[in-house]
Amino acid sequence: MTETITLPGLVDVHTHLRVPGGEHKEDFRTGTAAALAGGITTILGMPNTSPPLSTPEVLAAAREQAAQDILCDVGLFAGASPEEINRLVECAPRAAALKIYLNDTFGPLRVEDVPTLMACFATWPRDKMIAMHAEKQSVAVGIGLAATYNRPVHFCHISRRHEIELIAQAKAKGLPVTCEVTPHHLFLTEADATRLGPLGDMRPLLGTPSDVAALWEHLPETVDCIATDHAPHTLAEKQSATPPPGVIGLETSLPLMLTAVQQNRLTLERLIELMHTNPRRIFNLPQQPDTAVTVQLTADTITNEMVQSKCGWTPFHGTEVAAKVQKVVLRGEVVFEDGRVLAQPGSGKLLS
């Protein structure tokens, strides 16, 4: 008989849901279906939509759409934008946290000036997290702001050896910083980027073997969360002359991480901290009563055909894993079972 294990509902603090403006890539229903298929019952949606979630009006409209469509619990990030910075405080009641993009990636949001950074840190409510897309020396900028304003900063998708080492040193000094890493930065390297072409292109880029080794070395201590950076783009877009960066991850994160548990690369207890306890604590997200994920510990192959996300492909197509999500119960309701999403649109809770 196949062994099964039960986990709490998992949390992903880094998902791109593409509403408004990118509904051909993903929408609130398909994105939350992908989450449930991956054993994830709470997600935080990123603000680099079109237009971005940088004004209370755009946030309110996105929340209205989400309330009708979501299958699991969803909070939205507000996005810092220099042009709309005077509207930032009004965004706070409708947002779970603030996202600041310091480096280039998909979408228009970018903060490259000190006055905007100062305004973010001076005005964003202290009880809500500030998360940063910070690569290379920008990590030092984020650590400096956390120290200067004495308030927590969460670093998204840390991917390079010197970045995780800098964060480890900041933590050793007692600075209030936390960080996430993605499964694609743990399981793929720059060699896979070459093999996959545009399907292996994302920000941050896939690392060297030394970068990947550093992330695994720091998984027991420095890393706080596994986050997917689920960033759907259609195959046609990826195969175009100007492919956008990003790959999906909601459905493959848990099977990949449980495969690492089976290989003794981390413990099951640590996996639960990284994918449930820590993200919930860091972003102050509510508990979900009567919620559980049943996983079969069985050989499985990830394929494009099983993908619930609207984009319909995964960079892990063909990858062998050692676990398969069998069933998800959210607040007492069976919302996913044997490959089928059973939740009703609008049954998820919208977080503020």
Residues in touch with Zn ion (CB under 5 A): 229
CB count in 10 Å sphere of residue 320: 11
**Subset of residues 6 to 35 that bind ligand NCD, contact rule: CB under 6 A:** 16
Q: Which of 38, 79, 246, 279 binds ligand NCD (CB under 6 A)?
A: 246
Q: With respect to ligand NCD, which residue has the nearer C-beta, 243 or 345? A: 243
Residue 347: DSSP 8-state: -
Q: With respect to ligand NCD, which residue has the nearer C-beta, 202 or 256? A: 202
C-alpha pair distances (Å), 43 with each of 107, 280, 304, 340:
20, 10, 22, 19
**Which partner in Zn ion, ligand NCD, none is near 327 (CB below 5 to 8 A by kind)?**
none
Encoded one letter per residue, x for contact with ligand NCD by CB under 6 A and - for no contact, window 125-144 reads --------x-----------
- To ligand NCD, the closest distance from the beta carbon of 80 in angstroms equals 14
- To ligand NCD, the closest distance from the beta carbon of 106 in angstroms equals 4
Asked if residue 55 binds ligand NCD (CB under 6 A), the reply is no
Distance separating alpha carbons of residues 231 and 106, to the nearest angstrom: 9
**Subset of residues 203 to 242 that bind ligand NCD, contact rule: CB under 6 A:** 203, 229, 231
Which residues, in sequence order, are CB contacts of 92 under 8 Å at separation 6+?
A: 78, 98, 124, 125, 128
Q: With respect to ligand NCD, which residue has the nearer C-beta, 244 or 315? A: 244
Beta strands in the chain (DSSP E): 3-7, 10-15, 40-45, 73-79, 97-101, 130-133, 153-155, 177-181, 225-226, 292-297, 300-301, 320-321, 324-330, 333-337, 340-341
Encoded one letter per residue, x for contact with ligand NCD by CB under 6 A and - for no contact, window 99-128 reads ------xxx---------------------
Q: With respect to ligand NCD, which residue has the nearer C-beta, 102 or 260? A: 102
Hey, which residues does 6 pair with through a beta bridge? 294
- To ligand NCD, the closest distance from the beta carbon of 273 in angstroms equals 23
CB count in 10 Å sphere of residue 236: 10
- Using alpha carbons, select from 68, 21, 71, 67 the residue that is nearest to residue 46: 21
Q: With respect to ligand NCD, which residue has the nearer C-beta, 105 or 222? A: 105
- Using alpha carbons, select from 156, 325, 166 the residue that is nearest to residue 226: 156
**Which partner in Zn ion, ligand NCD, none is near 280 (CB below 5 to 8 A by kind)?**
none
For the chain, the first-to-last Cα distance in angstroms comes to: 43
- To Zn ion, the closest distance from the beta carbon of 14 in angstroms equals 5
**Which partner in Zn ion, ligand NCD, none is near 314 (CB below 5 to 8 A by kind)?**
none
Interacting residues toward ligand NCD by CB under 6 A: 16, 48, 105-107, 133, 202-203, 229, 231, 244-246
